[in-house]
Structure 1
Amino acid sequence: MARPDDLVVKHPFVVAHRGASADRPEHTLAAYDLALQEGADGVECDVRLTSDGHLVCVHDRTVDRTSTGAGVVSEMTLSQLQRLDYGAWHKGPQTDPPDAAGNGDTGLLTLDALVAMVLDWHRPVKIFIETKHPVRYGALVERQVLALLQRFGIAAPASASRSRAVVMSFSAAAVWRIRRAAPMLPTVLLGSAARYLGGSAATTVGATAIGPSIETLREHPELVDHAAARGRALYCWTVDEGEDVDFCRDVGVAWIATNQPARTKARLRAG
């Protein structure tokens, strides 16, 4: 029988920011596979729409920084994006480059493939999906994300705490679109300004959590209690330094987004 201590939720949980992106190229199969092996409680990704309507995991507006090609994601087709390698720029260990079909450890990762990977893992892991704005496709991004989650059967969880997916954005309008269409799906309103996150915006759009940067939270640790008083959790990004991990634990952050999930998990266990 479990002891009472075993039933206590132990915060913070660790979210692999773009996968284990300190050690593997961000937003690649290699990065997420390593994050899952390292015990991440959740994984985070940024999504954009291609010109032919596919959701792909790319942070920047262009692929110039993270691939062997160049161009604006929203102006390229899935096939064009799949011809590129997304790992050659990274200093980590060499992994398998993509083949002609875009497969491989450092090929283009679609949101469809990432969700399937997370749901097939041998333990429950949450996926935090950030929709990027402003973009040329506007609200279509959220509609496509919800349609994908519906196909996987995770768009309408029994409760926010049991949800396998969380949708986030710096755009309040985007968070509101998700909340209105899928009221049980947890959402995070991201931001860098304490006044914005601590004000009425999160209430107006129905966000279930707020997401300040570690710099903002350092300056305004009261955001944790402020959110909790309104029934919200706090998701903090991007937390890599040991003293910042300790700080987040001490003030009661629920979810830590980090590029180094293994090291962050180890630090929390040691603490």
Structure 2
Amino acid sequence: MTPDAREPFVVAHRGASAERMEHTLAAYELALEQGADGVECDVRLTRDGHLVCVHDRTVERTSNGTGLVSEMTLEQLRELDFGGPGRPATVLTLGELITLVLDWRARPTKLFVETKHPVRYGGLVENKVLAELQRFGIASPPSADHSRAVVMSFSATAVWRIRRSAPLLPTVLLGDSSVYLGGGAATTVGATAVGPSVKTLREHPELVDRAAAAGRATYCWTVDDQEDVALCRDLGVSWLATNHPGRTKGWLAAV
């Protein structure tokens, strides 16, 4: 995951989440069908130690249930509907998403896994993520460029844990402060990329060049407007995350 002079690669943010409920199998299948170069997910640990693709601490916003993810078992989560009206769907595990991505034969697709912090299980989340990637044979790539997985976090400590245990696995230090991203945090933890929001990128377009000068790629989130897609392309952003992967691919192809 090195700085790239080509147009940005398109990452489906929680799947094709503008058209399907986020983090559902249907959202990721649609994103792959639309030609996404990568797919992004957030992961949390259940009470019985399973990694599930859920953004929030609670399930209220994205399911028909209530409660904290960390206080529920996988079996309890499976009883909830995460698909919404007309498209019932059970909670998606990280293992199920990895299987989908690796089985997709149309093109190689990267998986971007974001670990959430602070959480009650602390560094166990990163340990579990690495164990799951290892189970599928993608935790120790021959190089960062050939990796099928990327691990991201807003927590510098979480990124450091990954770099210490899997030095060739690409990592993204997410953040919304230009000083934070441009300073020593990414260097200290050895992140291979920085991840500003598109709002930060508009205010500080120099971030991309500063990251490239340090040998780092740029991952920008969440890019849904055509003007912002063009900005990412013009600045040389390596990866952009969007809720509209198909539409974004079309905009980039039309230039």
TM range (shorter): over 0.9
What is aligned with 1:214? 198
**Offset of 1:10 from its aligned partner?**
2.8
The letter for the 2-side match of 1:119 is L
Q: CA deviation at 1:145?
A: 0.2
| The one of 225, 235, 246 aligned to 1:241 | 225
**1:38-57 equivalence runs, <5 A:** 38-57=34-53
2:216 maps to what in 1? 232
Structure 1 unaligned regions, length at least 5: 1-7, 98-105
Q: Which amino acid aligns with 1:162?
A: H
2:29 to 33, 38, 45: 33
Unaligned runs of 5+ in 2: none
1:54-95 deviations in Å (ceiling 9; x for gaps)? 000000000000000000000000000000001216xxxx33
Q: Percent identity among equivalent residues?
A: 73
State TM-score, norm by structure 2. Answer: 0.97
Quick one: which amino acid aligns to residue 81 of structure 2?
A: D
- Where 2:145 maps in the other structure, the secondary structure is helix
* Structure 1 residue 19 corresponds to structure 2 residue 12: no
Question: Which whole-Å deviations, capped at 9, do the CAs of 1:165-214 have from their partners, x for residues lacking one?
Answer: 00000000000000000000000000011100000000000000000000
Normalised by the size of structure 1, how large is the TM-score?
A: 0.91
Runs of 4+ aligned structure 1 residues displaced above 4 Å come to: none
Q: Is 1:107 matched up with 2:98?
A: no
Cα-to-partner distance string for 1:234-256 (whole Å, 9 max, x where unaligned): 00000000000001000000001
Partner of 2:161: 177
Distance 2:130 2:124 in 1: 10
Alignment match, 2:102: 119
* Largest Rg, 1 or 2: 1
Does structure 1 retain, via aligned residues, the 8 Å contact 2:17–2:27?
yes
- List per-residue Cα deviations over 1:107-136 (Å, max 9, x = no partner): 110000000100000120000000000000
Higher relative contact order (CA 8 A, sep 6+): 2
Does 1:74 pair with 2:88? Answer: no
Residue correspondences, number: 251
Aligned equivalent of 1:3 = none
Amino acid corresponding to residue 31 of structure 2 in structure 1: A
Q: Distance in 1 between matches of 2:170 and 2:7?
A: 17
CA-atom RMSD in angstroms = 1.0
Q: State the match for 1:4 in structure 2.
A: none
CA distance in 1, matches of 2:133, 2:83: 27
